[in-house]
Amino acid sequence: MTEALVRLTPQAAWDRLAAGNARFVEGTLLHPRQSADRRRELTDGQHPHAVVFGCSDSRPASEIVFDEGLGDMFVVRNAGQVVSPSALGSIEFAVAILDVPLMVVLGHQACGAVRAAIDSTRGDAPELPAQIWRLIAPIVPTVHRIARAANTVPQAADPDEVGREHLRATIAELLQASPIIADAVASGRLGIVGAIYRLGEGTTVPFVTEGPISIPGL
């Protein structure tokens, strides 16, 4: 049986990604499964071991920061990793059809969507184009929650705190909105890790888990 057809457990899938990220941070990248043979192998189908729901920002490119290769990851991205019908349907496809054992919701430091959501709460904030506003609007309630917890005004909310809380809220929304995802987690077929990518360090730091995933400190 080829590596592509071996279904990893949720824990093994996360451990593999964590090891790849460690190589990325250390500068010892393997660039695995990027050969011509791998390309030809994948013409018969795909068997990724993770779906990554991340931000469209150009800096946290999933296959690079986790040192993965062709066919390894099913990547869904939009600005701010905001749950939308297209994102949810894509993730459900990965879970229900491709049978991935792991979902990573990947935020990052200095997220432009988070910054825009915070800035939109200013009284003098310029009006945003309609489609951009629709994209960041779901983050605004998180801005207000963080501001209330810190006893400050929304425009002074800590963007790192907002990013982490948005990560947790996104996972909760995915579980609430999708019986497919929730059932896969409940049955132990799917694990979820919410992590923040640190731009300068290159590390993906997990903050929240769901399902059969064990990470020290969480």
> How would DSSP label each residue in 30-84?
---S-SHHHHHHGGG----SEEEEEE--SS--HHHHTT--TTSEEEEEETT----
The 10 Å Cβ neighbour count of residue 147 is 20
| DSSP one-letter code for 152 | S
Q: Looking at residue 161, what is its pLDDT?
A: 97
Q: Is 17 exposed, middle or buried (0-12, 13-18, 19+ CB in 10 A)?
A: buried
CA-closest candidate to residue 102, choices 48, 57, 139? 48
CA distances from 169 to 69, 176, 182, 189, 208 (A): 30, 10, 15, 22, 11
Q: Looking at residue 5, what is its pLDDT?
A: 67
Complete domains list, the chain, with CATH: 30-210 (3.40.1050.10)
Question: Which residues of the chain, if any, have pLDDT below 70?
Answer: 1-5
CA distances from 12 to 35, 50, 109 (A): 24, 11, 26
Give the predicted TM-score (pTM) of the model. 0.95
